[in-house]
Amino acid sequence: MLFKYGSDKIDVGKCNELIALTFGGVSVMNDHIPTSYPEQPMGDWINSFYRVHGVEARPFNFHSHHEYEIYFFHSGDCRYLINNRIYDLQPGDIILLDGMTLHKPNPQPGSTYIRSMIHFSPIWLKELLVILGTPNLLDPFQKLNNCLLRTGYDEAGICVDEGIKRISTLIANQAAELQQKGEKSDTSEAEIKLELVQLLVKIYKMSHKELAQHSNKRTEKEHHAEGIASWINGHYTEKVSLDRLAHEMNLSKYYASHVFKEVTGFTVMEYVMGCRFNQVKYLLEMEPEQTLGDVSRASGFESIAHFSRFFKEKAGITPSQYRKKRLKIGIS
């Protein structure tokens, strides 16, 4: 297997400390990390970002990706939308994401926003986890429906923070070695995998302790925004309008539009199109017998022309190219 490394320091606002490094070029449709990385071949499986500071000028878009994600919130004022749930983040919060559920951070303008992230492919770890007899280490990502672990920066939270930092440092060292020598050491991939497995063991233990429901008080606005998101999740394959949504939610159009934008950071129709886009990606990959017309209609698009144009604008490739790419990965 061919692995290449790249590194790129990200200047996001006023950064006091920032490690933003990539091991490989995982295909992440992710707008809370900058995208200016050197192109990497397919087959690279992990990237790590430690203590990213500030907010980029461009907005944080609703997104999904095939990799699992460990998101660690250090400080700031940020709400996080996962599907139709909204969380007010607290320092030390850890979010575990399966990637394919639509998600989006919404930091408040002008606030501090410091976070760390690891994205990794479960395929990359699968063989090692089987050998170790621990395939259940991925259960928190697969069975807990994108959960939040509230650590309050306790000992376990600090341990996860330090684990992400170690992985980022390992990746940085290996990237530098590859750049200087033109090749990576024989143990580089194994070192990163083993460090990640240790981090997953800690998270697995934490997830069992934290499964008890923690209180997450909702304001009236957050309650309404979650209701709107839930309604859209059940109707995005149909013809959706603000008039219909407001009528069925028993809200005024003005209030529904403004409260959703205020709480989530994006408009009702942006959310609708994000849901449709995610459904398209799922059907293209998981239902290869469906025609593009079938996929278009099943995802809520009224015309295949609009569907194709929208998909290429968002994904950078056509629906057919995306399907071939994902099916090739599945076969390999």
Residue 214 resides in a domain: no
Strands 113-120 and 46-53: antiparallel
Backbone angles phi and psi of 86, in degrees to 5: -120, 130
CA distance 27 to 249: 37
Residue 97 resides in a domain: yes
Q: What is the CATH number of the domain that holds 305?
A: 1.10.10.60
Question: 183 and 267 in one domain?
Answer: no
Residue 1 resides in a domain: no
Rounded mean pLDDT of 213-223? 70
Question: 270 and 130 in one domain?
Answer: no
Using the 3D structure, point to which of 148, 175, 209 is the last residue of a domain: 209
Q: What percent helix, strand, coil does the chain show, rounded to 5?
A: 45, 15, 35
For the cut 90, the answer to whether the pLDDT of residue 167 exceeds it is yes
Question: 226 and 166 in one domain?
Answer: no
Residue 241 resides in a domain: yes
Pair of tokens at residue 164: 């992400």
pLDDT band at 210 (very low <50, low <70, confident <90, very high): low
pLDDT band at 197 (very low <50, low <70, confident <90, very high): very high
pLDDT recorded at residue 330: 57
Let me know: does 294 contact 284? Beta carbons within 8 Å: no
* Helix residue ranges, H only, 115-154: 122-132, 139-143
Question: 38 and 175 in one domain?
Answer: yes
pLDDT recorded at residue 208: 78
Question: 303 and 253 in one domain?
Answer: yes
> Which amino acid, 158?
I
Let me know: does 40 contact 4? Beta carbons within 8 Å: yes
For the cut 70, the answer to whether the pLDDT of residue 145 exceeds it is no
Question: 121 and 82 in one domain?
Answer: yes
- The upper half-sphere exposure of residue 242, i.e. CA atoms within 13 Å in the direction of its Cβ, equals 15
What pTM does this model have? 0.67
Using the 3D structure, point to which of 180, 209, 238 is the last residue of a domain: 209
pLDDT recorded at residue 132: 93
pLDDT recorded at residue 65: 63
Residue 255 resides in a domain: yes
Q: Hey, is 85 helix, strand or coil? A: strand
Question: 303 and 177 in one domain?
Answer: no
Q: Which of 271, 266, 273, 267 is nearest to 310 (CA)?
A: 273
16 or 300: whose pLDDT is higher? Answer: 300
Question: 168 and 33 in one domain?
Answer: yes
For the cut 70, the answer to whether the pLDDT of residue 290 exceeds it is yes
Strand order in the sheet with 6-7: 6-7, 19-23, 46-53, 113-120, 68-76, 93-97, 148-150
Question: 159 and 18 in one domain?
Answer: yes
Residue 215 resides in a domain: no
pLDDT recorded at residue 7: 30
Question: 190 and 262 in one domain?
Answer: no
Residue 238 resides in a domain: yes
* Domains: count for the chain: 2
Helix (H) or strand (E) holding 31: none
pLDDT band at 236 (very low <50, low <70, confident <90, very high): very high
Range of the domain at 16: 6-209
Q: pLDDT of 7-37, one tens digit each?
A: 333 333 332 232 233 333 333 334 344 443 3
How many CB atoms lie under 10 A from the CB of residue 10? 18
Question: 72 and 180 in one domain?
Answer: yes
Q: What is the CATH number of the domain that holds 124?
A: 2.60.120.280
Using the 3D structure, point to which of 209, 243, 266 is the last residue of a domain: 209
Question: 200 and 251 in one domain?
Answer: no
Let me know: does 81 contact 52? Beta carbons within 8 Å: no
Residue 144 resides in a domain: yes
Q: pLDDT of 82-106, one tens digit each?
A: 877 888 999 999 999 887 677 888 8
Q: Which of 10, 22, 3, 9 is nearest to 170 (CA)?
A: 22
